[in-house]
Structure 1
Amino acid sequence: MSVLPIIQSLEQLVLMHEELLNVSKEKTEVIKEGSVEKLQAILAKERKQIRKVEQVEDKRRVIVEEWFTSRNLSLEDMTISRILDGLEEEADKETIAAVTTKLTEVITALKQQEQLNQTLLNQSMQFVQLSLDVLQPSITKLNYGKQKNESERASRSIFDSQA
């Protein structure tokens, strides 16, 4: 079996992850705007893209299993390193290494972008909570002036016993 289907599936994964990265960048801008409706639309778009990535990943896994089976290699350790070790042609090795590196870079950028989005969402939630706290005073702050302790009030009696 040729290594070409593996290369094609990896290239397809790179493209899909780049599209997901673009959606994540759109999400960052929408979070900055504070538009809940736009954010919901972006999240729906993101879920669709994630499903597509999962489908391509499943196809890639099947292709790699077929490649390992055709070479009579163990299916337990299906890694890029093992694929590279099993290839004879340098051009194929270089192509797979380059595509794998690109995929790793895109996934790393996607993780960083999602961490930024998470930070922005947390800050937005903190701001909303602070705003709610300012608008809704607590019950203890509703009374004006000093509150007298019950012990001070109880120490005086109605009748003066020294008279």
Structure 2
Amino acid sequence: MSITPILASLDSLEKLHVSLLRLANDKTVLIKVGDMMGLDQMLKDEQAHLAAIVQMDTRRQLAVSQYLTDQGQTVPAKPTVADLLGAVPEVDKKSLKEARDRLLHAIHDLKWQNDLNQKLTYQSLQFVNLSLDMTRPRSRTINYTKPEINGKRVTEDERTFDSQA
């Protein structure tokens, strides 16, 4: 068996991650603008991409398992490209490393963009909470102070604690 199916699955994974990165960039714009309907649709699109990535990664794992089995190697529970590098001939290692590095670069860029989106979302939430706090009436703080400080004296009729009870 050749590593062609593995390289094809790595290329497909890279394309899916780059497409997801484009969605993450678009999401940044939607967050900045505050387009909630657009964000809702964007989340649905991201879910579809994630499902496709999971499916493609399962295919990659199966292809790596099949290759390692054909080579007489032990197959780990979740085979990775690093597991594969020790079993492939030197001719195929370069193309396999390049495909892996391109995928890792796309994943790194996606992670950075998602971190940015998370920070922007958190800041937006802080702004909303601040706006709500400013519009809500403040409740009176209840604490123990001397009545003379507040300018009123407690009389017998105003006491709320009945010691005779």
Question: TM-score scaled to structure 2, two decimals?
Answer: 0.83
Say whether the 8 Å CA contact 2:21–2:109 is kept in structure 1.
yes
Say whether the 8 Å CA contact 2:24–2:113 is kept in structure 1.
yes
d(CA) in 2 for partners of 1:123, 1:39: 16
d(CA) in 1 for partners of 2:60, 2:93: 17
Say whether the 8 Å CA contact 2:5–2:63 is kept in structure 1.
yes
Matched residue, 1:88: 89
Question: TM-score scaled to structure 1, two decimals?
Answer: 0.84
Structure 2: tracts of 5 or more residues without a match: 142-146, 156-165
Say whether the 8 Å CA contact 2:64–2:80 is kept in structure 1.
no
Q: CA deviation at 1:84?
A: 2.0
Matches within 5 A, 1:1-163: 1-76=1-76, 78-90=79-91, 92-140=92-140, 149=149, 153-154=153-154
Report which of the two structures shows the higher radius of gyration computed on alpha carbons.
1
Structure 1: tracts of 5 or more residues without a match: 142-146, 156-163
Q: CA deviation at 1:154?
A: 4.4
Letter in 2 for 1:105: H
**Cα deviation 1:35-89 (Å, max 9, x = unaligned):** 1111001111111111111111111111111111111111127332332222224
State, as a whole percentage, how many aligned pairs show the same letter: 32
d(CA) in 1 for partners of 2:4, 2:150: 85
